[in-house]
Chain A
Amino acid sequence: MSSASAFDEIREQVEIPSLEIDFAAARNKDYCELVNEINPLHFDQEYARALGYKDIVVAGIFTASLFPKLITDWLGGQAVIEKMEVKFGSPAYLNDTVTYRGRVEKKVIEEGAKKLECDVWSENAAAERLASATILLRFQERV
């Protein structure tokens, strides 16, 4: 569906166009520098392995940042995110290519406001689910 989609044209259970990102070492390093990362789990392989992980774990705040982007890539400025509940399951590791997917679960109209509830999730190249979220959107247009 194009970014020109309007609320009325969106159907429940429709899939949101997926988004793919490679959490390559350079990208992870740039992000760690941007946030002045202090948790060695996100940049120190030895530390991560001592905790039982197979490699550096990409920060949850970084991986979860792509959930809102999945929505804004799809709808542009037509809707704003009101709420996002995200749960982290398996970690995304350094150099993982992660695909973000989603589906419209519910369309509602509350006090004239047009809203969508979407289930979104991320998965690695082995199709293992890494994190999932529920996102509530409000369209700028009103009934």
Chain B
Amino acid sequence: MARDLELDDLRAKMDQAISRMASKEIVVRPETIKDFCGIVQETNPVYFDLQEAKNAGFQKIPIPESYLLTLITPLSHELFTTGIGPLLGPVIRGIIHTSSVIEFLGPLHCDTPYRLELEFAGLVRKTGKMGEYFVGTFPHKVLDARDKLMAVDRHVFFLRTA
């Protein structure tokens, strides 16, 4: 019973902390995509040569689908620092990203403003071979300037207790 109350309390605090997090405006620059392509060995020139992109029918350099998980990292970072970080400090000793369900709803382009938003979709307590842990689900959303949802990643984290 006490453990249920403790979990409910943590859920409520997380919900409150995440609702206070402001959305983030983001513009991906072509130089960033060029750097990313170098790191993941992406050689398709549409991702780093504007003329090639235009020849392929794009107005701007497209953002590769492989970059989406990287695009939303500012949300995860804020989540675990100023977001719910202060709540977790005493009880959590490790954070592990265990799964993601990603929907790509439209093409993304460089030099285009997008807004990143984070939601809280639940927290459960589990016990496994590595001890007790929490499982939290946090949808990360990418919206365009007209508030159209362009992509969503339902990030699931295991939060290992101290």
Contacts from A to B (Cβ < 8 Å): 21, 27, 30-31, 34-36, 38-39, 41, 51-52, 59-62, 64-69, 72, 76-77, 80-88
Contacts and interface: CB of A to CB of B under 8 A. Distances in A.
B40 interface: yes
Interface size bracket, B side: 35 or more
A17 to B, nearest CB: 14
Contact of B104 (A52, A59, A83): A83
A100 to B, nearest CB: 11
B98 A65 contact: no
Q: Which of B38, B56, B104, B160 has the most CB of A within 10 A?
A: B104
Contact of A36 (B77, B95, B103, B130): B77
A69 B36 CA distance: 12
Given A21-B41, A30-B35, A68-B64, A88 B70 contact: no
A35 B96 CA distance: 17
B125 interface: no
Contact of A60 (B46, B94, B97, B130): B97
Q: Which of A36, A60, A66 has the most CB of B within 10 A?
A: A60
Contacts of A68: 64-66, 68
B88 to A, nearest CB: 13
B70 A61 contact: yes
Contacts of B98: 60, 87-88
A61 B77 CA distance: 12
B102 A39 contact: no
A77 to B, nearest CB: 7
Interface centre among B64, B65, B103, B130 (most CB of A within 10 A): B65
Nearest to A51: B94
Given A34-B32, A64-B69, A83-B102, A88 B97 contact: yes
Contact of A85 (B67, B101, B107): B101
B70 A51 contact: no
B23 interface: no
Nearest to B77: A38
Which of A30, A66, A86 has most B Cβ within 10 Å?
A: A86
Contact of B39 (A31, A39, A83): A31
